[in-house]
Amino acid sequence: MSRELMWNGDNLTVRIYGQSHSESIGVYVQGFPNSFNVDEDKLSSFMARRAPGKNAWSTSRKEPDTVRLSYEDDGYHGVIYNTNTRPQDYEDLLRNPRPSHADYTGNLKYGSSIMGSGGGSFSGRMTAPLCIAGGMAIQYLESMGITINAHIRSIGSIQDDSYYSTSDKEAFLESLKEVGGKEFPVVNDDKGNRMKEAIQEAFSRKDSVGGVIECVVEGFPECLGGPLFNGLEGKIANIEMAIPGAKGVEFGLGFESTRIWGSENNDSFFYDETGELKLKTNNCGGILGGISAGIKNAPIVFAVGIKPTPSIGLEQDTVDTVSKKNTKITVKGRHDPCICPRAVPVVEAACAIALMDSILCKERE
């Protein structure tokens, strides 16, 4: 048995069901305009970016993640059938909880019904149905000239080129548009090769590494969001933090802005030679007071911190919750030595759901 996981926006509703090793996982999405038509080939290509088992830095669990899409009950239903499960690798995890997993807290709150093998409803596998909903939202936004592109900003201490590290923002944004078509989602391929080496080293050591994913939204209109609880940052962060393994979200310069003077952080306004209002810098990440600025040279920029995969092959300390004694655990199963490469489209998908919901608010005012 699994719980239905629901996100209720102002206009969109996303209901995800299933578990990592259940027969199927899927999503019901309500709130799309009746005029919207899904390009299923585009959706399949988007889903392939997240699919497991395709390369050396991914889990060895191979799943095609073929989406069966239908329209029913005033909304879309997308389902994926799991084809490669090994539940025997996950026996006794409620008795011997894995460090930094949801085994202990999930069982404490919900009991064994939700804590199926492979992490159950808490598994990163559940980002596949999230990507169905988000992939559709991306298509809707693209029809309005809004693009969302993300890349791995860092793995450990290895840094890719990023929005704030480059002086030529236009060249960076053009390069960022190509990342979705790459096997390894970085702007600078030389840096990407170093990241792949770091991931391979972690795998060889039966360990894991984390990183940061940067996301840039271009073409988003002005005046969406609001103060306090209605802020656009909060809406985006709410879904981004639903991604298993996400540990933090920062907008614009984020925490780096805490280390500089206000005079350095402030984004000055100016009119260019054509009379168009612009910002001299974009440390705010395209959002001021929780409201989208919609300024051409100030796209929405945010980043998501992803922790190292908690499932590692090294022996670790844990407890036996039945005997009440300390014990050891060696995690079995098939796991990514780094979540980041496959999480890039998930970050884009989560962002798209939040932004589409905000746009529908304005359209339906």
pLDDT at 59: 59
89-103, 144-158, 240-254, 325-339: the lowest-pLDDT one: 89-103
Residue with more model confidence, 5 or 64: 5
Strand partners, 202: none
What is the pTM assigned to this prediction? 0.93
Average pLDDT over residues 94-99: 89
Report the alpha-carbon distance of residue 206 to residue 214 in Å, rounded.
27
pLDDT at 365: 59
pLDDT at 353: 98
Each residue of 323-365: pLDDT tens digit? Answer: 999 999 998 766 789 999 999 999 999 999 999 999 998 766 5
Q: Considering the chain, what percentage of its residues have pLDDT values greater than 90? A: 75
pLDDT at 121: 78
Structural domain of residue 261, as residue ranges?
Answer: 5-363
Report the alpha-carbon distance of residue 84 to residue 63 in Å, rounded.
6
CATH number at residue 254: 3.60.150.10
Give Cα separations from 169 to 52, 172, 182, 187, 195 (angstroms).
32, 5, 20, 13, 23
Residue with more model confidence, 65 or 104: 104
Report the alpha-carbon distance of residue 211 to residue 194 in Å, rounded.
13
Per-residue pLDDT band at 315 (split at 50, 70, 90): very high
Per-residue pLDDT band at 15 (split at 50, 70, 90): very high
Report the alpha-carbon distance of residue 115 to residue 111 in Å, rounded.
7
Per-residue pLDDT band at 53 (split at 50, 70, 90): low
3 state DSSP class of 129: helix
Dihedral pair phi/psi, residue 59, rounded to 5° = -60, 150
Only one residue has tokens 């992803």, namely 306
Question: Domain total for the chain?
Answer: 1
Please count the other Cβ atoms lying within 10 Å of the Cβ belonging to residue 108. 13
| Cβ–Cβ under 8 Å, residues 68 and 82 | no
Report the alpha-carbon distance of residue 221 to residue 239 in Å, rounded.
20
Tell whether the model's pLDDT for residue 85 goes beyond 80.
no
Per-residue pLDDT band at 110 (split at 50, 70, 90): confident
Tell whether the model's pLDDT for residue 1 goes beyond 50.
no
Each residue of 128-163: pLDDT tens digit? Answer: 999 999 999 999 999 999 999 999 999 999 999 999
Maximum distance among all Cα pairs of the chain, rounded to whole angstroms = 75
